Amino acid sequence: MLKIRFRIILSLFAGLALFGSCNNGHKVTAPLISFITPSSGFKVAIGDSLPLNPTVVNNSGSSYTWAVNGVVVSSSKIFMFTPLKIGDYTIQLKVSNEVGSDDKSILVTTFTNNSPYITKVFDYQYGPGQMATGIPSDWKGNDFVGQPWTGTRTYTSLGGWGGYIIAGFDHTIKNVTGADFGVYTQPGTGSEPGVVYVMYDANKDGIPNDGDWAEIRGSEYNNSETIHNYQVTYYKPVTNGDGYVTWKDNQGNSGELVPEYGTGSWWWSGYGNQTSVVFTGERLPDAYINTSTQAGVQNWAVRPGLFSFGYAECYFNLDYNNSLKANLFDISNAVDKSGTPVTLPGITFIKVQSGVFQIAGWLNEVSPEISGAVDLSLVQYTPN
């Protein structure tokens, strides 16, 4: 029995000696990362890809961790970085094994040759309202193009219900997670909701002729007061100087646009000799209510609980961004004429239309003023 135990002990010693000699011949060391990078970092166009394939010494049995601006994104040896938004990125690689680890950081700056802003207006039609006399008959909505509030740019008034502008970008805005584009407001505080429609340039001809518009579904889409496929015909005042614009709709209603102050004829300015104009779209609920309890006193305020998201020129709601002074929109909220969600890879064109048909006392008509639109992936802004 003693001989057997002695042999076992000798065998163990021999095995340990053999292991030690092998281990000394193949000593495991920590990995070492090597990158060849430009002195100022990499520059990558939005939508392009940067393949990152590091040289790693002592990489046997190592694990890889890639992080972008502190967020872990991959555990593969090779990482393909495809930036979707303008900005500066720090990409960090950490390689680890049982002995130790090494890490390296890479700076990537993104750029684009596209304009973040609207580059062309295709159609502009003012809805009868109080700004009519200030709009030349040949004006094409030029203030909607380019970066807002620069140079002589101010804002585009859509006028009363139905007035609209159709415009486009010089590229397709990709449909990504979250908000994709914004519509700038007139810097102020008075919400005057506009309905937003979008279109993808499927035939790639740069013209908004790719079928029906898809509507960005807003908070009041299913409101019982909202009327889809609404149509109004406005008529030129019979008497110049003191006549009012009259109207009738496709619901059997009719009336006059009676301003709180001034005369009615100037609401027709810009239509020239046309005796009538027709607008079709979505009518939203009345936006304002007179909250005053005193006779003869008006205190108009936006009705509580309405227009919380999904409309242009709405302040203090869920999608208004304070740093941009714009309402933000998600392409994924697009629906077709029947209200069925549509899947769009992106959008190239937008249409913004005055959505509220209401004369709110001294405010006169509820008419959106908007200052352009922006691809959110191509500008840096601060979330609220």
> Distance between CA atoms of 242 and 268, rounded to whole angstroms?
12
pLDDT of residue 240: 65
88 CB burial (10 A radius; 0-12, 13-18, 19+): exposed
Shared domain check, 99 and 148: no
Residue 227 to residue 125: CA distance in whole angstroms: 21
* Residue 74 placed within a domain: yes
> Which residue, of 111, 140, 158, is where some domain finishes?
111
pLDDT at 132: 85
Shared domain for 322 and 341, answered yes or no, is yes
- Predicted confidence at residue 296, as pLDDT, reads 81
Query: Cα-flanking dihedrals φ and ψ of residue 109, to 5°?
Result: -110, 135
Task: Quickly count: other Cβ atoms within 10 Å of residue 208's Cβ.
Answer: 22
Final residue belonging to a domain, choices 66, 82, 111: 111
Q: Establish if 5 belongs to a structural domain.
A: no
Q: Are residues 230 and 334 in the same domain?
A: yes
**Domain limit, last residue, from 111, 138, 168:** 111
CATH of the domain at 72: 2.60.40.10
In this structure, the answer to whether residues 72 and 150 fall within a common structural domain is no
Same domain, 280 and 327: yes
Evaluate the CA torsion angle 318, 321, 327, 333 in order and state its sign: negative
221 and 324 fall within a common domain: yes
Rounded-to-integer distance, Cα 241 and Cα 294, Å: 33
Q: Are residues 174 and 220 in the same domain?
A: yes
| Domain enclosing residue 177, as ranges | 120-378
For residue 200, the number of C-alpha atoms closer than 13 Å in the C-beta half-sphere is: 13
- The amino acid present at 150, given as its one-letter code, is T
CA distance 360 to 8: 100
Q: With the C-alpha atoms ordered 361, 365, 366, 368, is the resulting torsion angle positive or negative?
A: negative
C-alpha to C-alpha distance for 136 and 90, rounded to whole angstroms? 50
Give me the number of domains the chain comprises: 2
Q: Is 79 exposed, middle or buried (0-12, 13-18, 19+ CB in 10 A)?
A: buried
Is residue 21 one of the residues assigned to a domain?
no
Tell me, what's the pLDDT at 22? 40
93 and 205 both lie in a single domain: no
Residue 142 belongs to a domain: yes
Whether 310 maps to a domain, the answer reads yes
Per-residue pLDDT of the chain (384 residues; tens, 9 = 90+): 433 343 333 333 333 333 343 444 457 799 999 988 888 889 999 989 999 999 999 888 999 999 999 999 999 999 999 999 999 999 999 999 999 999 999 999 999 999 999 999 999 999 999 888 888 777 778 899 999 999 988 999 999 999 999 999 999 999 999 999 999 999 887 899 999 999 999 999 999 999 999 999 999 999 999 999 999 999 998 876 668 899 999 999 999 998 887 777 778 877 878 899 999 999 999 999 999 888 888 899 999 999 999 999 999 999 999 999 999 999 999 999 999 999 999 999 999 999 999 999 888 999 999 999 999 999 999 999
Bridge partners for 72 per DSSP: 67
Same domain assignment for residues 271 and 368: yes
pTM attached to this predicted model: 0.87
Residues 163 and 268 in one domain: yes
Q: Is the same domain home to 65 and 139? A: no
One domain, residues 62 and 103 = yes
User: Is 1 among the domain residues?
Assistant: no
The answer to whether residue 4 sits within a structural domain is no
